[in-house]
Structure formats: C-alpha cells, structure tokens
Structure 1
Amino acid sequence: MNTAADTLSAIFLIAGALLSLAAGVGLVRFPNVLARMHAATKPQVLGLLLILAGVALRIRSRSDLTMLLLVGLFQLVTAPVAAHMVGRAAYRLKRPEPDLVVDELADRAPTGAVDSGGGGGNRRRRRG
C-alpha cells in the first residue's frame, strides 16, 4: 500500500509541476491579455491542486491535510475572481478589442463612460 501511494504521489507531483510550468511558459509566450489570463488560471490551479494531492498522499497527518485543503480551497476561490478582474480591466482599457470576434458588451458599456467599479452598473457621466 505504501509503494502504491508513493507512486501515485510521484505521478501527481510530476503532473502538477508540468502543468505549473506550462502555465508559466504560457504567461511569457501568449500574445494577448485574454490568452495570458487563461494561462494564469486554468493550468496553474490544476497544477497546484495536483501538487497538493501528491503531498497529501505523502503526508498523512490530520493538521497538514487540513492546511493543504485550505490552500486548495483558497486557490479555487481567488483564481477565478482574479482572472475576472484582469479581463474586466483589459476590456475597459480596450486591450482585447482586436481579438474579439463578437463583442457582447458593446451595447451595455457606452464608449467614453468608465465605471469606477463601485458596483453601480452602467452609470453615465454628465456632460456639461
């Protein structure tokens, strides 16, 4: 049983390390914000979760497993929010515009009006 758990742990650790490496390479090599945002979240989170699973198979104390679970949960909660905020900022700065085939937000966000991020939706500035 110990040999099987060690082997599975090694497989998880190597797969997680390769996915994390792929995420790092994607951050450097991808051409635009949206592609980099994808590389920063999806393979990085899966790579970290695989590494945590590999470490959990290797270390079996209850307190360490609780800490690993909290790290994984924190990563699952924060990575999508961070990617959403990066994508939102890039859209507002008109960075992904050449890459968009269909801009579904064009009618919702008027040009020239920038939301301060206060949660007020599409507020228009008064001119005058």
Structure 2
Amino acid sequence: MNVNQLIELMAALLILFGSIVSVISAFGMIRLPDVYTRSHAATKSATLSVLCVLFGAFVYFWIHDGYVSIRLILGIIFVFITAPVAGHLVCRAAYRSRVPLAEGSGNDALKSVLFDDEELRVKSEIEQLK
C-alpha cells in the first residue's frame, strides 16, 4: 500500500465518519425534548459531519486527481462560519419568544436579565392558570 492509497483511505474514513455523525445528529433532532437541545444537535454535530465529508472529498480529489477544489474550500469555510451562528440565532429567537425549556434543563439564568418584573408576573400567573 503506497502513500496515495493510504491518504485515499483516510479520506474515505473521514467521509464515513461524517456520515455516521450525520445519522447521530438526525436521531438527536428526533429524540431531544426542546428546541434548545435540538438546535444543539443540529448545529454542533451536523456542522462536524458536513465539515468531515467536505474535507474528505477535498483530500480525495487533491490526492487522487491532483485537483484543488476552491468550491470545497469555500463550502468548508461557509459552513464553519454560518451554521453555529444560525443555531445561536434560532435559540435566541426561541428564548425571546418565550419557548419553554424542557423540565430537566436546570436554572434559567437569563430570565431576570432579559425580562422585567411585570412580564415575569404575567407569565407566572398564566402558568398557574394552566
């Protein structure tokens, strides 16, 4: 086995690893209880899986064909920058529109910072009526 075949095997393993992480991310999207944890599964693991697949394809084409794909490099950079920001903004929008946390989530440290006392009083009264 020469060096090119070894690097092609590593590229194939990167693509396989990215595919497995993508499936795990899909299960996380289905199984997790609220929008915040689902967003975590979507952004962290899906970003890792897409980056592994794109980097594996980049390495394969670079070693096998001698072709450096600028499109793959731009795709890696674009996903690396935009996916975590999008996940953060989805969670922030959900929190500001008062989507409830799952029951086992723990403390809500931002509640006293972002919402004033009147909004908290009204929200607690509505929760008591349910």
Q: Which interval holds the TM-score relative to the shorter structure?
A: 0.7 to 0.9
1:95 to partner: Cα distance: 1.9
Could you list the structure 1 runs, at least 4 aligned residues long, displaced by more than 4 angstroms after superposition. none
Give the TM-score, by structure 2 length.
Answer: 0.76
1:109 is matched with 114
Change (3 A) 1:108 1:55: same
1:80 is matched with 84
Does the aligned pair in 1 maintain the 2:18–2:49 contact within 8 Å? yes
Q: Is the counterpart of residue 22 in structure 1 residue 24 in structure 2?
A: yes
SS at match of 2:80: helix
SS at match of 2:113: coil
- How far, CA to CA, are the matches of 2:101 and 2:58 in structure 1? 43
Q: Is the counterpart of residue 68 in structure 1 residue 72 in structure 2?
A: yes
2:125 is matched with none
Structure 2 residues without counterparts, runs of 5 or longer: 121-130
Give the TM-score, by structure 1 length.
Answer: 0.78
Aligned residues: 111
1:24 to partner: Cα distance: 1.4
2:5 is matched with 3
- How far, CA to CA, are the matches of 1:85 and 1:3 in structure 2? 42
Partner deviation per Cα, 1:49-108 (whole Å, 9 max, x = no partner): 11112111210212x1x2111101111111111111111122123223344422221222
Note the aligned Cα RMSD (angstroms): 1.8
1:110 to partner: Cα distance: 2.1
Structure 1 residues without counterparts, runs of 5 or longer: 114-128
| Counterpart among 83, 98, 101 of residue 97 in structure 1 | 101
Query: Percent of aligned pairs with the same residue?
Result: 32
